[in-house]
Structure 1
Amino acid sequence: MVSRSHDYVLSHEGPGALLLDAAESTFSDAVQEKVWRVAADLSRFSGVLETVPGMNNLMVVFDPLVADDMALSQAIRGLWEEADLQLPPGRIVDVPVIYGGEDGIDLADFALAKAMPVEEIIRRHTAPLYSVAAVGAMPGFVYLSGLDPVLAAPRLANPRNGVPKGSVIIGGTQAGIMPVTAPSGWHILGRTSLDLFDPHRARPAYFKPGDRIRFVPELSQ
């Protein structure tokens, strides 16, 4: 089943999941706020097991023995049309970053490709107040909106097998932080000591959608 509206598509992803996709050619912060609101409202519905916000999309996982898919689809459509964007503000967290050198192995080449001094790249990277649009891809990974468009860059043609935990990275029009060492084709500008994921914490992922991040330059030890 696929239901289309003027600004989203709602489709089944197997017998126990629905995907609301409102993504267009460019990311929209306003659409993302609606995604967060609908996710929060749906989490209280009987039979809904999990709501997973993505980049301008939302996966809703439900128990088909408890929740009727047609009724749930109708509820999703209604919540989307009526979503109140007045969300409580998320936390603002300063994230210390050591830029360049061994901690940011792509910074010099990135600056060269942008025809800018390294200092200007750092200034532009630390200027915005980023928003955690979504958490996913790997445990605790944050997709950040708010990157200066001048710093947008295609991902590497040949991804690295092991980008270190804590790496502060850019891929396309988004910024991110590696919560664990894992493969990635994003550009590494620096590193933070902040631990984004710890399975032993009450809330393993340090950030949640709606939190905001400010990168703060830190001198190398």
Structure 2
Amino acid sequence: MSGRVGARRVLAYGLHALLVEVDDADGAAALASWLRAQGQPVTDVVPAAATVLVDGLADAAAHAAVRDAVARWHPGAGVTDGPLVVLEVDYDGEDLADVAALWGCSVQEAVARHSALELTAAFCGFAPGFSYLVGLPAALAVPRLATPRTRVPAGSVALADRWCGVYPTASPGGWRLIGRTDAVLWDPDRLDPGPALLAPGTRVRFVAR
């Protein structure tokens, strides 16, 4: 069963969940923030690149309540700023010079442009603690590597398309590496702010060290 609600499509996702389609990651993050603030009768709200999964709907009334909230939502409605995390970065990534060339500037200017941004964690995926950060202007979008690396070191700060991310552990990856940080992105035993340092909604600034 599906329905068009407030110019967005809402799909039944099994018996106890709904999947809401939105235009982009910014919209998904905003809708997820809105639904959490409304205190909906759900167990989890999970934003992704262009959808929001709302899980734990116990009955028809809960389904209806979420559909009603989505119908009342519009991008920017009720969104509050998340916590700010500042990450110190050594801008010495293997692809930094290539990124600067794609941006049509010097390496120093590329560092200045990246560190001037305030990004937002839209959603997590790929690996525990890996957050897809939005806020990179379209003019700064860069293509993924033609051939992914078999191993990217933990803490690598990287770009792909209009996304920015930090690899929480060593893993394969095809994003362009511009620097590295010592921050612990994923710690299952961390209570504050939680296992994922960059949970959805977190604002992120990078500073050169």
TM range (shorter): 0.7 to 0.9
CA distance in 1, matches of 2:200, 2:6: 25
Aligned to 1:99, the other structure's residue is in SS state: coil
Aligned: 1:190 with 2:179: yes
- Which residue does the alignment assign to 2:140? 151
Identity of counterpart residues, as a percentage?
A: 36
CA apart distance, 1:79: 0.9
- Which residue does the alignment assign to 1:204? 195
Q: How does 1:91-106 map to 2 (within 5 A)?
A: 91-100=83-92, 104-106=93-95
CA apart distance, 1:31: 5.4
CA distance in 1, matches of 2:67, 2:184: 37
- Which residue does the alignment assign to 2:167? 178
Aligned: 1:215 with 2:209: no
CA distance in 1, matches of 2:90, 2:51: 33
- Which residue does the alignment assign to 1:54? 48
Deviations 1:103-125 (CA, angstroms, capped at 9, x unpaired): x1111222233332111111111
- Which residue does the alignment assign to 1:12? 12
Deviations 1:87-138 (CA, angstroms, capped at 9, x unpaired): 44222221101112xxx11112222333321111111111111112222332
Aligned: 1:29 with 2:26: yes
Letter in 1 for 2:8: Y
How has the CA–CA distance of structure 1 residues 50 and 34 changed in structure 2, closer, same or farther, with 3 Å as cutoff? Answer: closer
CA distance in 2, matches of 1:144, 1:17: 25
Letter in 2 for 1:191: R
Does the CA-based 8 Å contact 2:5-2:67 persist in structure 1? Answer: no
Letter in 2 for 1:91: P
CA apart distance, 1:173: 0.9
Q: TM-score, normalised by structure 1?
A: 0.82
CA distance in 1, matches of 2:144, 2:7: 28
Deviations 1:28-73 (CA, angstroms, capped at 9, x unpaired): 635532222214535x51xx3322122342112226xxx12x4333
Does the CA-based 8 Å contact 1:128-1:148 persist in structure 2? Answer: no
Does the CA-based 8 Å contact 2:32-2:45 persist in structure 1? Answer: no
Letter in 1 for 2:65: A
Does the CA-based 8 Å contact 1:167-1:192 persist in structure 2? Answer: yes
- Unmatched segments (≥5 aa) in structure 2: none
- Which residue does the alignment assign to 1:75? 65
Q: TM-score, normalised by structure 2?
A: 0.86
Letter in 2 for 1:128: L
CA distance in 2, matches of 1:130, 1:153: 16
Letter in 2 for 1:198: D
